[in-house]
Amino acid sequence: MPHPSLGARRRRLVLELPLETPDGFGGRTRRYVAGPVLWGSLEALGTAQPGWGGRTERAGLYRVGLRYRPGVTSAMRLADGTRRFAIRTVGDPDGRRRDLVCEVEEVIEETRP
């Protein structure tokens, strides 16, 4: 896979960091807080498998190219405006710490009445 050049990294993405707090019932609640702004590329890969119960909506799968940054994990998310992407995999394709490639899945937020 060719590495995205700096010119191809035109999307302004926000790395969202997980923050877990006690929920008062012995469990934990996870929310995300905005972290650093990163410039990256976003390439559509297709769609995930359909969900349970015959639901037809499917989240999109994407590949995100970033400049190398240590510490990015699958517990984090990327934000592109109002869109959110859960990081599924993170890799340094050539091991030279120049590029970081993430496979992400778009998060479809449920709206409650």
Query: Over the chain, what HEC string results?
Result: CCCCCHHHCCEEEEEEEEEEEECCCCCEEEEEEEEEEEEEEEEEEEECCCCHHHCCCCCEEEEEEEECCCCCCCCCEEEECCEEEEEEEEECCCCCCCEEEEEEEEECCCCCC
Q: Which two tokens stand for residue 83?
A: 């869109």
Q: Which two tokens stand for residue 82?
A: 């109002």
Give pLDDT < 50 ranges for the chain: 1, 3-4, 6, 56-57
The CATH H-level superfamily of 6-48+57-107 is Bacteriophage SPP1 head-tail adaptor protein (2.40.10.270)
**What's the CA gap between 85 and 79, in Å, rounded?**
6
For 36-58, what is each residue's pLDDT tens digit?
999 999 999 976 555 555 554 45
**What's the CA gap between 104 and 89, in Å, rounded?**
7
- The confidence score (pLDDT) of residue 113 equals 60
Look up the pTM and report it: 0.78
